[in-house]
Amino acid sequence: MAYLGSGPVRTFAEQQRAHRVVIAQIVVFGVGATSGIQVANFTVTGLSVVCLLLVPAFLLMRHRGAELVPLVLAALGWISYLASCLINGVSVLWPNAIAPAAFSLYLLGLTVITGREVARIATVVAGIAAGSLIFFLSQGIELTHTGSFLDLWKYGIAQAVTTLVLYGLIRSTRVRWFVIPAVLVVFGLTSLALNFRAHALVCLLSGAILLTRRVLGSRIARGWQFAGIAAFGLTVAYLMPIAARVGLFGPALRQKTLEQQATDLPLYLVGRTEPPMSITAILERPVLGWGSAQKLTPEVYTAAEHLAVRLGFSPTFPFELYWRLPAADPSAMHSLVLGSWAEGGVLAALLPLWLVVSCVGLVWNSERYGVWGPLVVVLAVQGMWDLWYEAWTYNAIPVFVCIALFFSATDAMRPTPPDTRPP
């Protein structure tokens, strides 16, 4: 490289290479954004069509055995779901039953698009976030059609906006390291005010992880660092309802907190009422499951209510209101791990459980991802929450595929200096 005065002058070849890199990033981002085109519920989008066209290219690539593990688990989950649906008289096109197959398709296509390179995976994640914004702002779901920004934020765009902002900050060359944890704290407080406690906890916990790892580094053992972070998370979870009751974060959160505490909902269930129902369904049919939560019998609901009372629920809790959802609603279990097991059987739960382990590994080894570490941490923490406490949502499947790709990213095996910037 030649130098003129105090600034470097790139050669023509280097300029051409830089242009190709920028064009490639735009193309990868655009491919991810095709996820904003809905074809069929949350399982099939415009990105699905692109991935389907790229399947032959996946077959021409070379793969390590470990890289094929999520693909095998997804195939087993789909087979288990199909068997459960056929046995229980459920349509094989039930959205939850298709989810493992959709995961497989996304994994094939996104592997080709990203080549398992960290920067490309991050760009696809940002593109998927842009696709989510396009979908929720143009079409949305019933919960986002209320005309309230609180509902749009909570049920639609919060995670997508967070991802895009982080991606933009990481791409910038002028942002200091402490800006990203500070931005996450701002997002966390904003979500508290907008009655989105789950997103607030994810942002605050992610910010604490990034700050702890940066400030303490290797001076304190990593295990003790994460023990302190876990204590911080539990403290926030304990103090959040107290602050909400006094109206510190706005009237919407205060009302929601008072409603939940009036029902004596156990704190360790973090506001979820479905675990007793899911656990009872699993215990009744642990191998092949029920095919769909809509097939649970009255006897199962009765046993689940008894279990819920033993776990700390009030005997007067309105279980019917929370557990019996419309027949077309695939979110009854409200847990990807427990719901997959209860509906599709034990084999269907293997992929979500593997993803939980992957998320833990990403947080533990976030330094390997260099400048992309903050984005990886936020995705992993959000992923752990969603796997245990959420149902399938729009564009959740390709995001989980990106988590799997981050876990097996080839260039993450060599640690990258944390202050380097993406090309």
- The predicted pLDDT at position 81 comes to 95
* Residue in this structure with the two tokens 């989008």, named with its chain if needed: 45
Model confidence pLDDT, tens digit, residues 265-311? 666 666 678 888 999 999 999 999 999 988 888 899 899 999 888 88
104-145 pLDDT, tens per residue?
999 999 999 999 999 999 999 999 999 999 999 998 888 888
Taking residues 42-69, report their average pLDDT: 91
Confidence category of residue 6, pLDDT binned at 50, 70, 90: very low
Residue at 418 is within a domain: no
Band (51; pLDDT cuts 50, 70, 90) = very high
Instruction: Say how far apart CA 73 and CA 55 lie, in whole Å.
Output: 18
How does pLDDT run across 317-343, given as a tens digit for each residue? Answer: 888 777 877 666 677 788 899 999 999
**Residue 417 covered by a domain:** no
Write out the chain in H/E/C secondary structure. Answer: CEEECCEEECCHHHHHHHHHHHHHHHHHHHHHHHHHCEEECCCEEHHHHHHHHCHHHHHHCCCCHHHHHHHHHHHHHHHHHHHHHHHHCCCCCCHHHHHHHHHHHHHHHHHHHHCCCHHHHHHHHHHHHHHHHHHHHHCCCHHHCCCCHHHHHHHHHHHHHHHHHHHHHHHCCCCCCCHHHHHHHHHHHHHHHCCCHHHHHHHHHHHHHHHHHHHHCCCCCHHHHHHHHHHHHHHHHHHHHHHHHCCCCCHHHHHHHHHHHHCCCCHHHCCCCCHHHHHHHHHHCCCCCCCCHHHCCHHHHHHHHHHHHHHCCCCCCCHHHHHCCCCCCCCCCCCHHHHHHHHHCHHHHHHHHHHHHHHHHHHHCHHHHHHHHHHHHHHHHHHHHHHHHCCCCCCHHHHHHHHHHHHCCHHHCCCCCCCCCCC
Contacts of 8 (CB under 8 A, 6+ apart): 1, 2
How would residue 4 be classed by pLDDT, with cut points 50, 70 and 90? very low
- Tell me whether residue 107 is exposed, middle or buried, using C-beta atoms within 10 angstroms of its C-beta: 0 to 12, 13 to 18, 19 or more: buried
- Is residue 79 over pLDDT 80? yes
The backbone torsions φ and ψ at residue 145, rounded to the nearest 5 degrees and listed phi first, read -95, 15
Instruction: Select from 130, 183, 139, 188 the least CA-distant residue to 161.
Output: 130
In tens, the pLDDT along 154-212 reads 999 999 999 999 999 998 877 788 899 999 999 999 998 888 888 998 999 999 999 88
Q: Is the pLDDT of residue 3 over 50?
A: no
State the total domains in the chain: 1
Average pLDDT of the chain to the nearest whole number: 86
Evaluate if pTM is beyond 0.95. no
Full domain range(s) for residue 343: 2-412
Residue with tokens 């994640």: 125
| pLDDT at residue 16 in the model | 74
Tokens 């403290």 -> residue: 235
Q: What's the pLDDT score for residue 21?
A: 79
Over residues 358-397, the pLDDT tens digits come to: 999 999 998 899 899 999 999 999 999 999 998 888 899 9
Give the pLDDT band of residue 263 (cuts 50, 70, 90): low
- Taking CA atoms, 141 is separated from 38, 126, 136, 157, 326, in Å, by 11, 21, 7, 12, 15
Tell me whether residue 99 is in a domain. Answer: yes
Residue 419 placed within a domain: no
